[in-house]
């Protein structure tokens, strides 16, 4: 059985470079050579080695949500994108211990990964689940779901691709809706364009935590306009 010690980055920080390991892709930060490595086709044997449809979850945390989705949908390839190495390693352990062959883990910045590595028009759906809300106004520019990220996502989604954004933070939910509207995405729900009781969407650590604390969840599904 795999243990945490089985996954480690075999080089020092000054010698860093993008690295494929077993069902794991490490994207170093503060690195300028990404354009020399990507894009990488999903059919590459280091990733899935097949041409099934691809779904990406950003901010995957410990992998609870995407692990269940991957097991329930074995005909789809699932990619977990998580910036924190310790969390990404937990997802990696989960896929091995629970035998989830259609799950792949990316440890790195969401914008960097999306800009350089997925081929254009090859992703059928994306999910952004509980991204850091950066609640202080002076930090709001650090939020993931803004126009630059949406433009990157637009590049990798296939025509008619779906995107779902989930948060418990009301100001962030409002900003997401504004950015999505300005970017020309089509909402899949009628006004106010979100659901707070979407049980079939699946559960996650943060979804369970915030519901237990009585917070409202904003689940916002959108579609890429052809």
Angle at 111 between CA 88 and CA 34, to 5 degrees: 90
Residue 187 to residue 167: CA distance in whole angstroms:
16
168 is catalytic: no
CB 94 within 8 A of CB 67: yes
Angle at 178 between CA 173 and CA 181, to 5 degrees: 120
* Nearest residue to 82 via CA among 101, 102, 56: 56
CB 61 within 8 A of CB 200: no
The two beta strands, 103-107 and 24-26, are parallel
| Candidate list 15, 109, 132, 208, residue with the active-site label | 132
The angle, 0 to 180 degrees and rounded to 10, between the axes of the packed helices 64-72 and 85-97 is 30
Residue environment code for 135-145, b if the CB has 16+ CB neighbours within 10 A, otherwise e: eeeeeeeebbb
- 36 DSSP 8-state letter: G
Residue 55 to residue 79: CA distance in whole angstroms:
6
Enzyme catalytic residues: 132
């Amino acid at each position: 059985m795999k243990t945490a010690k089985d996954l480690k980055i075999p080089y020092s920080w000054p010698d860093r470079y993008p690295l494929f390991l077993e069902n794991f892709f490490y994207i170093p930060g503060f690195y300028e050579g990404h354009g020399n490595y990507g894009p990488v086709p999903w059919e590459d044997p280091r990733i899935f080695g097949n041409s099934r449809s691809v779904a990406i979850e950003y901010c995957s945390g410990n992998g609870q949500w995407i692990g269940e989705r991957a097991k329930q949908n074995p005909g789809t390839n699932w990619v977990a994108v998580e910036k924190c190495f310790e969390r990404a390693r937990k997802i990696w352990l989960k896929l091995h211990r629970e035998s989830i062959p259609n799950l792949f883990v990316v440890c790195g910045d969401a914008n960097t990964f999306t800009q350089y590595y997925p081929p254009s028009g090859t992703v059928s759906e994306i999910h952004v689940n509980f991204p850091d809300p950066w609640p202080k106004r002076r930090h709001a520019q650090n939020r993931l779901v803004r126009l630059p990220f949406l433009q990157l996502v637009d590049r990798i989604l296939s025509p008619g691709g779906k995107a779902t954004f989930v948060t418990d933070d009301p100001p962030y939910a409002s900003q997401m809706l504004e950015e999505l509207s300005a970017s020309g995405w089509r909402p899949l729900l009628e006004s106010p364009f979100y659901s707070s009781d979407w049980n079939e969407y699946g559960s996650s650590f943060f979804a369970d935590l915030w519901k237990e604390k009585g917070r409202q969840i904003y689940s916002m599904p959108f579609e890429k306009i052809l």
